[in-house]
Amino acid sequence: MARVMLQGVTKRFGDTIAVNNVDLQVADGEFMVLLGPSGCGKSTTMRLIAGLEDPDEGEIYIGNRLVNEIEPSKRNIAMVFQSYALYPHMTVYKNIAFPLKMRGVPKDEIDRKVKEAADMLNIIHLLKRMPRQLSGGEMQRVALARAIVREPMVFLLDEPLSNLDAKLRVKMRFELRKLLHDELKVTTVYVTHDQVEALTMADRIAVMKKGRVLQVDVADGLFNRPRDIFVAGFIGSPPMNFIEGVVNEHDGALVIDAKGLELPMPTHFQEALKSYLNSEITVGVRPQDIKVFQGKGARGILGYVLGVERLGTESYLHIISGDCTIVIRVDPESKFKEGERIWWVPRETRLHFFDTKTGAVIAKT
Amino acid sequence: MRLSFRLIMAIVGYIVLTVVAIIYLMPFIRSITASFMTWEQAQRMPPEWIPDPFTTRPFEQILGLKYFPVWLINSVIISASIVTAQTILASMAGFAFARVKFPGREMLFSLLLATMMMPGIVTLMPTYALFSKVGLIDNLLGIIIPGLCGASSIFLMRQYYLSMPQDLFDAARVDGCTFLKIFRHIAFPLARPALGALAIYQFLGSWNSFLGPLAILKSIEKFTLPVGLLFAFNRAWYVEYSPIIAGSTLAAAPTIIIFIIFNKYLIKGIQLTAGKR
Ligand SMILES: Nc1ncnc2c1ncn2[C@@H]1O[C@H](COP(=O)(O)OP(=O)(O)O)[C@@H](O)[C@H]1O
Ligand SMILES: [Mg+2]
């Protein structure tokens, strides 16, 4: 068992900065997920930890050991690849035994450990097969067995579930977490672009964008206290609504002037926004944090119904208000007509404010 | 309308191909049939195609020749050494060029490719001059050594290793392999189809090679089959050419057999070198 620490790690491929000055600490036994869109540098970060790439700058520690100059095979890590990377010319047994054989483990011990790992993953009956005779889910299990058989200090998994069908993927999420985190209690770095996977499996999630780590937090923190507009928009589905505007003063109170609509600012934010007077900010509010009123005597900001998206247990109302389109979660029972006038009110405590230029959250003072 | 035009084009195409194939095969077929004829029948004009009487005398004559087995053995020694060395060395060098990062790799590889552009005949005289200084003239090693490795073989192997997924090599590194172990346990065993193609090419090339052995080998007991047969022909050891024809047929037999059995591998090899980069 060991922690993993990255300090100021940068990796360039020609002109591309794949990983940009990343600091990351994974605690002993922690299940850390690297989450971000394709091409943001997740795999490269993982490959740096594995030693398959050399950093241009920065330091990487596994345990208390600086591993920059240490071969992948000596870092005491195991890796599961998206493609599984099973050796096609070896049986399942030999695939699982391979890392032990390369380390000169005695034959009878190899045999015992291979069977133990195979048992843990329910693949004893597959040991004599060749990889090409396996289904995707079975290959996945073999790849996992090959990784756990060595009892590594750190587990690295790069989108291990993305080649499985949807149903199996959901099942494997829980199984994987149970195996790696609850049973083996091994430090794990897990890469995915799927936020549901990240939110359901992780102890903490590191959200990445363009080679940078924007926020490292527990799921609740990312969802409720995003520190960056990208994180706010990336986590949550359907995504947070963003309304861009300029901070103005109106009758002594701060409001936001946004493309044809005026958004009053909550009192507890007046102070913090003062310094943004006349500059551009973005207001974020999630679909579930908006109330809608219909008919006579309604209050709030005027909008027109564009349509309703019904997803069975929940429904999403799409409206246009000023020049902004806004998505609002509504009661599936409620009825809306296209073009109907409605009034909407965001929950004041659930508003997020971001500096439009930098994308950074504006903290309450 | 369009379909029938296509059909006609296809038929015309096949007719042309068949005619060309027959023209190409003619000498082959001729030498096979002629090796079973009496010399008297073989030289008749217009040529006859069916041996009558059927005889194996030309084979008996050539096999009875004192030097024929020596030449055969020389050819086997040369081909076997070259095939063995090429498969091992080219697959190692190809692996290094494909999957091991080292400084100057791209430049070295370009240099290697440049040597492929050079026709072999250009280097024959310099090689000869060099070999005469170090005593490799009239020595089987003088044929074997230049054939131990070649740019095109390295290129073929490199292409094959590049076509394998990178993840396999990365997995092996994480699993505890040095580059040498990756080569031994992963790359080499997986390269079998390419190695097969390479071995066959090298066998055909070395078995049939003529100009190099002709230049370098001087004494009768050092000759390879093709050189020996020409020698026997030139010196008019026989009044009749039938034994020479039979000898050529024998010399060509491995080539033909290999071609029939392994042509899948040969095509694979062509696809490999033709594909990307
Ligand atoms: N070996 C490489 N050579 C050149 N560019 C690379 C290489 N590996 C990754 N990159 C680039 O680095 C960036 C990050 O890639 P990657 O870490 O694979 O992203 P992710 O796994 O998040 O999708 C991408 O722009 C990618 O094109
Ligand atoms: Mg990736």
3-state secondary structure of A271: helix
Specify the number of domains making up chain A: 2
> Looking at per-residue confidence, does B268 or B9 come out higher?
B9
Provide the CATH number for the domain around residue A328: 2.40.50.140
Phi, psi of A93, deg, nearest 5: -55, -50
Kindly state the DSSP code that residue A307 receives in the 8-state scheme.
Answer: E
Domain end position, chosen among A234, A250, A265: A234
Instruction: Mutation target for A interface from B174, B177, B183: give the one with most A CBs within 10 A.
Output: B174
For chain A, residues with pLDDT lower than 50 are none
Domains in chain B: boundaries:
57-272
Domain shared by A88 and A156, yes or no: yes
Domain end position, chosen among A234, A263, A293: A234
Domain end position, chosen among A234, A266, A285: A234
Check residue A53 and give its pLDDT.
94
Check residue A295 and give its pLDDT.
81
Domain shared by A246 and A213, yes or no: no
CA B172 to chain A, closest CA, distance in angstroms equals: 8
pLDDT tens across B51-101, in order?
888 888 888 888 888 888 999 999 999 999 999 999 999 999 999 999 998
Check residue A193 and give its pLDDT.
94
Q: What is the pTM of this model?
A: 0.82
Give the rounded percent of residues in chain B with a pLDDT score beyond 90. Answer: 38
Phi, psi of A82, deg, nearest 5: -60, -40
Check residue A135 and give its pLDDT.
92
The token duo for B47 is: 């040529």
Domain shared by A126 and A57, yes or no: yes
Check residue A229 and give its pLDDT.
95
3-state secondary structure of A339: coil
DSSP states of A34-96 as a string?
Answer: EE-STTSSHHHHHHHHHTSS--SEEEEEETTEE-TTS-GGGTTEEEE-TT----TTS-HHHHH
Q: Is residue A364 part of a domain?
A: no
Check residue B277 and give its pLDDT.
38
Nearest-angstrom CA–CA distance, A210 and A39: 7
Residue A93: which of A73, A81, A111 has the closest Cα? A111
Task: Find, in chain A, the residue whose alpha carbon is nearest to that of B167.
Answer: A85
CA A111 to chain B, closest CA, distance in angstroms equals: 17
Instruction: Answer yes or no: is the C-beta of A44 below 6 A from any ligand 1 atom.
Output: yes
Nearest-angstrom CA–CA distance, A304 and B65: 104
Provide the CATH number for the domain around residue A42: 3.40.50.300
A48 touches chain B (CB under 8 A): no
- Residue carrying the six token digits 């300090």: A7
Residue A145: which of A164, A125, A162 has the closest Cα? A125
Q: For B57-272, CATH number?
A: 1.10.3720.10
Q: Is residue A363 part of a domain?
A: no
Nearest-angstrom CA–CA distance, B34 and A154: 74
Domain extent at residue A284: 241-355
Instruction: Answer yes or no: is the C-beta of A18 below 6 A from any ligand 1 atom.
Output: yes
SS (H, E, C) B153-205: HHHHHHHHHHHCCHHHHHHHHHCCCCHHHHHHHHHHHHCHHHHHHHHHHHHHH
Q: Whose CA is closest to atom 5 on ligand 1?
A: A13
A99 touches chain B (CB under 8 A): yes
Phi, psi of A356, deg, nearest 5: -60, -35
Segment B175-190 mean pLDDT: 93
